[in-house]
Amino acid sequence: MLLDKGADVNAQGGVYGNALQAASSRGHDQVVQMLLDKGADVNAQGGMYGNLYKGADVNAQGGRYGNALQAASSRGHDQMVQMLLDKGADVNAQGGMYGNTLQVASSRGHDQVVQMLLGKGADVNAQGGKYGNALLAALLTDHDQVVRMLLDKEADVNAQGGRYSNAL
């Protein structure tokens, strides 16, 4: 109703940053689809769930989740993740506390989401965020199935970074 009256589908503000991130985080598939149909930016960042504050560098890391794809992946909303990917969400976008979408999905043990992200070209060795990389995220949170998936995709067992430095 509000969108039909001219509300800005990409308006920034509040804890979630924008409507798409709020709906993605909460698992509201129909709302996400409606926002996407109305032109919501799948790579927009903002609020606690991103890092775009007025005048801030859009590539700076900050906030809990960098974008709607990370928010949906963190909760294991696989249908929503697929919807966002189909609409062109950047599978390797950097930002937020976890650094990237593969890392947040790996840290939560969402193996279906991890598989979808890898299938869409997620960089298995991307660095950044709390854990440093997806392999460390899965190892440190005891998600053995995800660890195996990442190793099958040639995750670097000697990669270093994040709060915990390395896999050993």
Q: How far apart are the C-alpha atoms of 55 and 42, rounded to whole Å?
A: 20
Question: For the CA atoms of 114, 134, 69, 21, what is the dihedral angle to 10 degrees?
Answer: 130
**What residue has token string 């009256």?**
5
The per-residue pLDDT for range 112-121, each reduced to its tens digit, is: 999 999 999 9
The per-residue pLDDT for range 79-103, each reduced to its tens digit, is: 989 988 988 889 998 888 888 999 9
**For residue 60, what pLDDT is reported?**
31
Q: What is the DSSP code (8-state) at residue 166?
A: S
**For residue 13, what pLDDT is reported?**
64
The terminus-to-terminus CA distance of the chain in angstroms comes to: 53
**For residue 62, what pLDDT is reported?**
40
Mean pLDDT of 62-89: 83
CATH topology for 12-152 is: 1.25.40
- What residues contact 1, with CB distance under 8 A and at least 6 apart? none
Q: How far apart are the C-alpha atoms of 70 and 129, rounded to whole Å?
A: 12
More confident residue, 97 or 12: 97
> Are the C-beta atoms of residues 77 and 69 closer than 8 Å to each other?
no
The per-residue pLDDT for range 126-142, each reduced to its tens digit, is: 998 888 999 999 999 99
What are the Cα distances from residue 98, in Å, to 22, 102, 109?
18, 9, 14
Q: Which tokens belong to 116?
A: 């979808």
Mean pLDDT of 46-66: 45
